[in-house]
Amino acid sequence: MSQSRQLDLVLAWHMHQPDYRDHASGEFALPWVYLHAIKDYTDMAWHLERHPRMRAVINWVPVLLDQLEDYADQFESGRLRDPLLRLLVRDQAEPLTAQERTLLADRCLHAGNLGMIQHYPPYKRLYELFRLFEAQGHAALAYLSDQFFYDALIWFHLAWTGETVRRESELVTRLMAIGEHFAQQHRSELFRLIGELVRGVVGRYARLARAGQIELSTTPHYHPLAPLLLDFQSAREAEPKAQLPAAAEYPGGRGRVIAQLHSALESHARRFGAAPRGLWPAEGSVSEGLLRALGGKGLGWVASGEQVLANSLREAGRGAEPRSRYLYRPYRLAAAPDLLVFFRDDKLSDRVGFEYQKWHGSDAAANFVGELEHIAAQAPQDERPLVSVILDGENAWEHYPYNAYYFLNALYQALESHPFIRPSTYAAFLQAPAHESGAAPAVPLAAGGVPPAATHQLERLVAGSWVYGNFATWIGSEDKNRAWDLLCAAKQSFDLVSASGRLDAERSAAAERQLADCEGSDWFWWFGDYNPGAAVASFDRLYRGKLANLYRLIELPVPEALAEPISHGHGAPEGGGSMRRGTAL
């Protein structure tokens, strides 16, 4: 294929987990941060390290980095604040309590883990035995020994190790071969390996960034739905009939968005030694108000979902254009002239997130590359399309065989050796000579060269997210709106107490951190009867506990409403609910 069919590809992997810490007790309520660290963050770094010509954007949400640092401190100090890690090093001579046995059953033998359990016959036997006893009633579980639960604990962690760890760690191979009746020493060895992996994660990505292989971007600190904090009415831009909370607005929303943004930029520069060039707003959620708030902060780009662009072009009377004519280029808005806005290819992103897990790895990689070649073939002759594939960097892989080892390896091999598909980053695009629509390239091109995608003007931006181009995942239903009203009431109380000046600096700072945590998008994501019951109950309990702690920090009584669940789930969504497609099927 001729040079006129060149294509730039930006793979952006979004690394995020909400704050699972109970700040009242200092304990981690859920273990997903360190588990994703030893599986997905470790594997993703390995694949990039083994393919040095690959380029990608890695988006780290600051609250995830906060928790990784917390875990690093736990491993270094020995003061463990995660109950599963404490049990991993527990003296076997001390009997497990009923509460600890329940925790191990809930975490290690939950039916939701069956997709991982079934790959390991010894682990599957433990699971089936537990279900057999459980069917006889709760009292029957007392006949299961502590050794049974410790074996389940080890297998739970072995199942959560990354495929690259399994291939390189003598310990993991040995423990899998032993299979049962593990000794306390085995748990201690596994604990040390987990500590080494968790402590090494952030440094590996920092080295990749220093080598110029990846771009590191950020998100407002606790992953808030910034357009909704700014204006609930923004939900009606894509869904005019959306039901909104009783509260007219989130009190002081603009100040909170700016605070979360400043905290993210400061922490990113402190951790990685340089300010980020770009930002992935939480859930790819954007509005014109948010882009104005981002202006003047030293950022060069933001990104969102394809449907947001389609809605915006439709609003401007351009809805009949084929996506190949508008999707693969950056845009600029008058509301934020210093920012370029990129939009993800929902089709390709969803294939990686949901479809390729059902394919043979090399076939999936070949299909992905073939789709890119087709996009290049349809592109205008006078510019290089820029394709954005953006999705979670952790949640998809557990549904792939071998944690997507064969898919990612085949994909990266194909991309780094392809004659005209160029893996790149948004920062690299910003560094290239500017090319505005309708203008000649700023510098002469080499013979046969094709300029990068031209930046086009977007007349207006219809507020929305990467999920269906709207905010219905986080607002609009009775339970989601109730959650917003509870947060608005807490924020009003926070503002009144803060204005009174009766809190000392330390307590005021703790209260503001807890407020920022409550503003995260994840709590609203999980409310809804279409989500799994256990997940809804878990996140509902966490959210209400965080709001209750905020009231305690500002020295006010906890409202009785926080004692009642907000939502009840009984659904079985695709992928367990932790990811959603950008476009409805």
The tally of CA atoms less than 13 A away on the side-chain side of residue 367 is 16
CATH class of the domain defined by 3-64+204-222+255-439+451-458: alpha beta
208 φ, ψ (degrees, to nearest 5): -60, -40
Secondary element (H or E) of residue 18: none
Among the residues of 19-159, which ranges form H helices? 32-36, 42-50, 62-77, 83-88, 98-108, 114-117, 121-134, 146-159
Quick check: 172 and 191 in contact, CB under 8 A? Answer: no
Partnered with residue 388 across adjacent β-strands are 10
In this structure, are strands 21-22 and 27-28 parallel, antiparallel, or unpaired?
antiparallel
pLDDT for 175: 98
Q: Cα(311)–Cα(343) distance, rounded to whole angstroms? A: 12
Quick check: 191 and 223 in contact, CB under 8 A? Answer: no
Closest CA to 432 of 445, 413, 419, 416: 445
Sheet holding 336-343, edge to edge: 278-279, 301-304, 336-343, 331-333, 456-458
Enter the tokens of residue 244: 């909104």
If you ran DSSP here, which 8-state letter would residue 218 be given? B
Enter the tokens of residue 6: 């060149």
**Global model pTM greater than 0.85:** yes
Q: What is the mean pLDDT of each run of 10 residues along the chain (585 residues)?
A: 74 98 96 98 98 98 98 98 98 96 96 89 97 94 97 98 98 98 98 98 98 98 98 98 98 98 98 97 98 96 98 89 93 95 98 97 98 94 93 96 98 97 97 64 49 91 98 98 98 98 97 98 96 94 98 98 96 90 79
For 548-566, what is each residue's pLDDT tens digit?
999 999 999 999 999 999 9
pLDDT for 502: 95
For a pLDDT cut of 70, what percent of the chain falls above it? 96
Q: Cα(526)–Cα(568) distance, rounded to whole angstroms? A: 10
SS3 content of the chain, % helix, strand, coil (to 5): 55, 10, 35
* DSSP-assigned states of every residue in 135-173: TT-GGGGGGS-HHHHHHHHHHHHHHTS-HHHHHH-HHHH
Q: Where are the domains of the chain?
A: 3-64+204-222+255-439+451-458, 68-197
Q: Which residues of 183-197 are buried (b: 16+ CB within 10 A; e: fewer)?
A: eeebbebbbebbbeb
Q: Which residues of 103-127 are buried (b: 16+ CB within 10 A; e: fewer)?
A: bbbebbbeeebeebbeebebbeebb
Q: Cα(176)–Cα(182) distance, rounded to whole angstroms? A: 10
For 377-400, what is each residue's pLDDT tens digit?
999 888 899 999 999 999 999 999
Closest CA to 571 of 519, 529, 534: 529
Q: Cα(151)–Cα(149) distance, rounded to whole angstroms? A: 5
Tell me how crowded residue 2 is: count the other CB atoms within 10 A of its CB: 9
Closest CA to 423 of 164, 4, 61, 48: 48
Quick check: 432 and 442 in contact, CB under 8 A? Answer: no
422 φ, ψ (degrees, to nearest 5): -115, 105
Scan for tokens 């736990």, then name that residue.
74
